[in-house]
Amino acid sequence: MEMILTNVTTIEKEIKMNLIRSLAISSFNCLISVLICTQTEAKLYKAFIFDANVSKDEYIFENIIDPDYKYTFPLELERYYKKDKRRLLNILCKKILTSSNSDNQLHQQRSSTTSRYLPSQYLFTSSLRDELAIFDFTSV
């Protein structure tokens, strides 16, 4: 690879490296498609897709991802810190108040066979909304 790119400028070298990387990505996608359509054993997926042969200097992800580029990803938790925490505290306070009314009511709640759920309109505006969206409640 380095022999091909010895007598070229840095811009041409970068363009050619991007083209070679695009070719590697396309061939990797083709390999994955063929494996998905033809194979069912997990060891074949591991061998062809995820194993890099260091002794032969065969690396998979170095051909697909640019190792010199610095990737920056935003933190997923930042949006949770920006949310209004009063709604979550309101839900917790309601739970504490209802559970501390009397021991008799607590005993009745524990002995009842039906589950009690918080209505979904309260959860939709709370901080639990994103976590609830990942579950599929349509299946039995």
Residue ranges of domains in the chain? 10-64, 78-133
State the pLDDT at residue 14. Answer: 85
pLDDT band at 79 (very low <50, low <70, confident <90, very high): low
Cα angle: 14, vertex 20, 23; to 5 degrees: 145
State the pLDDT at residue 83. Answer: 56
pLDDT band at 119 (very low <50, low <70, confident <90, very high): low
List CB contacts of 85: < 8 A, sequence separation 6 or more.
127
Look up residue 33 and give its two tokens: 């498609």
State the pLDDT at residue 69. Answer: 81
The distance from CA 124 to its chain's CA centroid, rounded to whole angstroms, is 22
pLDDT band at 107 (very low <50, low <70, confident <90, very high): low
Least confident piece of the model among 62-71, 84-93, 101-110 = 101-110
CB atoms within 10 A of CB 44: 12
In the chain, the percentage of residues whose pLDDT exceeds 90 is: 0
30/118: higher pLDDT: 30
Q: What is the pLDDT of residues 22-69, one digit of tens each?
A: 898 898 889 888 888 888 888 887 777 777 777 877 777 777 787 788
